A and B are shown apart, each in its own frame.
Chain A
Amino acid sequence: MKRTMHSLGIMAAAAMVWATGPAWASGQGVTDTEIVIGNVLPMSGAAAITGRAAHLGTVVAAAEINAAGGINGRKIKVVTEDDGYVPARSFQSLKKMLADGMFALIGTSGNAGLAAMLPVLEEEKVPTIVTLSPSLAAVNPVRPNIFMLGASYEDMLFAQLKYIKENRSPKGKLGLLRQDDDFGNQVELAFKRAEAELKVETIPPIRFKRGQSDFSAEVLKLRSSGIGWLISGGPVVETPAMMKELMKYQLNIPVTSVPTGMLAPVVKLAAATGMNYFSADYVSTLDSEGTAHFRKLATQYLSAAEQADMSRYSVTAYVSSLLMFNAIKTCGKNVTRDCVSEKLASNKNVDTTGITPPLSFGKDHIAAKAIRVIEVMSTENKLVERTPFAEY
């Protein structure tokens, strides 16, 4: 009896080893036939417009590489978890995906969500490309497995200000209306840099709370201070709301915005003001020659409804996917997280099919720092690229 129990114990232990063995392997998100790439994105809630678009970018990239036979014989599987733009849910989503087996991460939600996930990503050594919302906190200090695509808001706004100063000769002082949070802090860095480097006259920054719709008092205050050009430090619909007030007082002045200013709903709202404005990006615009290859893939792999949801966030996610796939490919058959992180750091001049100049992650783990200034012709629903890609 004792011997039987002993044998059963050994069999049970063997069964557990058998059962947990493959689970451990898949816990890294790599099997002989598949590599799992994860996204934690806002697929619902107010920021869903960005999250859904980014998800589509990774889907297109995975479909393209799978159609070409995968990476060294392994197919790419994209798994996206919805965090609703809530940091606690970002963390939970990441833990769930890691438990289910995820190899690398591309969709990293907003800055607060990323901050919640960073300790786990670092501990688990998950190769990660911060894509949705560039955050310097992710790469400062540099972590071996964390990389970032895209220039900072500071650089993107400064590029616009430099272009406006050199080409539009604004008459009056530079003003800033900024959200009272971390995003606004980043925007204000551009304002301070313009003050110091472009030697422009400025009006003290005006802060507003998140969710504010009415900017009547703020714009009147700017008008009385002699505003000549304005930095919009609102993340989405605040820019058209500010422009509407500017229009009320016939202040047809240059306005700068962060890349969300180029999203279709924002452009549509701005069109009602009849004003054009500026934005900047580190990827080519969705309707430009630079994204022709991506658009062709999108028509091939996405439904018409999905294509309608695409935006610059689809393009940035596609570019990040290309960088990640390139690193995985150069690791050969022996794909490990350490190897992929190392290759992400060392691979140079990765082709992004014309969306950006060839990309490399520098010592600072940031790629795509070259920016292009774009004028948003709101009434014509057109984005016009005003400068070539350049670093600022």
Chain B
Amino acid sequence: MDYLLNITASGLVLGAMYGLIAMAFSVIYKTTGVVNFAQGEMMMLTAYIAWSLGMTLALPFWLMLPLVCVIAALIGGLVEYAIIRPMMGEPPFAIIMATMGLAIVIRSLTILLWGVNAEGFDASVKGGLLEIGPVVLFSEQVFALAVFLLVSVGIWAFMRFTRVGTAMRATALDESAALLMGINVRRIHSLAWAISSIIAALAGVCFALAFSRSPSMWFLGLQSFPASILGGLDAPLGSALGGLLVGVSANLSEGYIGQGLKEISGFVIIILVLMIRPYGLFGRRDLERV
């Protein structure tokens, strides 16, 4: 039994990181209709910035984390303002290509600034072993789960109960109508990018704490995208749940079947789900896919 519980718990931790990035994909798509293929790279860049603040400048974790969120928001807003906004109205393919180009630029820039070596990320939340019954987790893994829960609840509450969140939902439903109602759609788009960037930054910090910060971190973005499709690209909470499903199914399939199924189990689930619900588990039926 402890085998099953431990495998599931580790899968949840991995899934929480997938889920956070999947949520970041979803927040942008839901509000602006853009799929940001540089999401993994933005996560990596902010994780590197966090590492520099925490390790090089030796800022305490409680100060570093909010500072990274602010920086991430600025980066997200800047990308929207400088790259995405001028391209509004262009074919979706062109915007996708722009985000792919941005991804390559960020990857190269990261290596240029920080080098190619992987480095550990020490922080006050790291290093302890927590035993919850038969389940053993590192403190940084528990931290990742806590961040996932807080962000999920926070995003839900923000969308549901705040005026800005309501404006974001209105913009997602009908941009023209939102404009006519006096909503500053441009500002809403910027905000979506900023929020998405903050979520990605938190995912990056969790990943770097649990493993290391390395130039291959961007790959996590690629692994998380299917989770967003599974949960519904226009459903942030659905995407978060998709992440958990992918993480747990990957671990269970490795633990009980093996034979390389870890990598493909998530995709098998996605294919099965999309055959029944082409718009994802929690996506809207009229979703237009690109």
Q: Which of A45, A49, A209, A269 meets B263, CB within 8 Å?
A: A209
- A28-54, CB under 8 A of B: which get 1 and which 0? 000000000000000011111100000
Give the chain A neighbours of B262 by CB distance below 8 A: 208-209, 217
Give the chain B neighbours of A46 by CB distance below 8 A: 116, 215-216
CB proximity of B258 to chain A, nearest CB, Å? 6
- Interface size of A by Cβ–Cβ distance < 8 Å? 31
Most buried by B among A49, A217, A221: A217
Select from chain B the residue with minimum beta-carbon distance to A50. B116
Give the chain B neighbours of A268 by CB distance below 8 A: 119-120
Most buried by A among B111, B212, B263: B212
- A293-314, CB under 8 A of B: which get 1 and which 0? 0000000000000000000000
Give the chain B neighbours of A248 by CB distance below 8 A: 129, 136-138
Q: Which of B10, B119, B207 meets A220, CB within 8 Å?
A: B10
CB-CB contacts below 8 Å: B216-243 with A: 216, 219
Interface membership of A224, Cβ < 8 A: yes
CB-CB contacts below 8 Å: B1-20 with A: 3, 6-7, 10-11, 13-14
Q: Which of A180, A213, A216, A237 meets B10, CB within 8 Å?
A: A216
CB-CB contacts below 8 Å: A312-368 with B: none
CB proximity of B105 to chain A, nearest CB, Å? 15
Give the chain B neighbours of A217 by CB distance below 8 A: 7, 10-11, 250-252, 254-255, 262
Interface membership of B117, Cβ < 8 A: yes
Q: Are A49 and B14 neighbours in the complex by a CB distance under 8 Å? A: no
Give the chain B neighbours of A65 by CB distance below 8 A: none
Q: Are B119 and A265 neighbours in the complex by a CB distance under 8 Å? A: yes
Select from chain A the residue with minimum beta-carbon distance to B216. A211
Q: Are B111 and A224 neighbours in the complex by a CB distance under 8 Å? A: no
Interface membership of A241, Cβ < 8 A: yes
Q: Are A206 and B258 neighbours in the complex by a CB distance under 8 Å? A: yes
Give the chain A neighbours of B138 by CB distance below 8 A: 244, 248
**A249-B136 CB under 8 A given contacts A218-B254, A221-B255:** yes
Give the chain A neighbours of B215 by CB distance below 8 A: 46
How many Å lie between the Cα of A46 and that of B251 in the bound state?
Answer: 27
**A265-B255 CB under 8 A given contacts A211-B219, A213-B211, A217-B10:** no
**A44-B111 CB under 8 A given contacts A208-B262, A211-B219, A217-B250:** yes
CB-CB contacts below 8 Å: B152-181 with A: none
How many Å lie between the Cα of A240 and that of B120 in the bound state?
Answer: 10
**A220-B258 CB under 8 A given contacts A209-B263, A237-B214, A269-B120:** no
Select from chain B the residue with minimum beta-carbon distance to A218. B254
**A221-B258 CB under 8 A given contacts A214-B10, A237-B214:** yes
Give the chain A neighbours of B111 by CB distance below 8 A: 44-45
Interface membership of A162, Cβ < 8 A: no
Interface membership of B118, Cβ < 8 A: yes
CB-CB contacts below 8 Å: A228-275 with B: 236-237, 240-241, 244, 248-249, 265, 268-269, 272
CB proximity of B98 to chain A, nearest CB, Å? 24
How many Å lie between the Cα of A48 and that of B117 in the bound state?
Answer: 9
Give the chain B neighbours of A77 by CB distance below 8 A: none
CB proximity of B203 to chain A, nearest CB, Å? 13
Give the chain B neighbours of A49 by CB distance below 8 A: 116-117
CB proximity of A49 to chain B, nearest CB, Å? 6
Give the chain B neighbours of A265 by CB distance below 8 A: 117-119
Interface membership of A207, Cβ < 8 A: yes
**A214-B211 CB under 8 A given contacts A49-B117, A265-B118, A269-B118:** yes
Seen from chain A, the residues whose Cβ lies within 8 Å of a Cβ on chain B are 44-49, 180, 206-209, 211, 213-214, 216-218, 220-221, 224, 236-237, 240-241, 244, 248-249, 265, 268-269, 272
21 CB contacts below 8 A, A to B, read A44-B111, A45-B111, A46-B215, A207-B259, A207-B260, A208-B262, A211-B219, A213-B207, A213-B211, A214-B10, A214-B14, A217-B262, A220-B10, A221-B254, A236-B118, A240-B212, A241-B211, A241-B212, A249-B136, A265-B117, A268-B119
A sample of 10 more A-B contacts (CB under 8 A), given A241-B211, A272-B120, is A46-B216, A206-B254, A208-B262, A216-B6, A217-B10, A217-B254, A218-B254, A220-B6, A237-B118, A237-B214
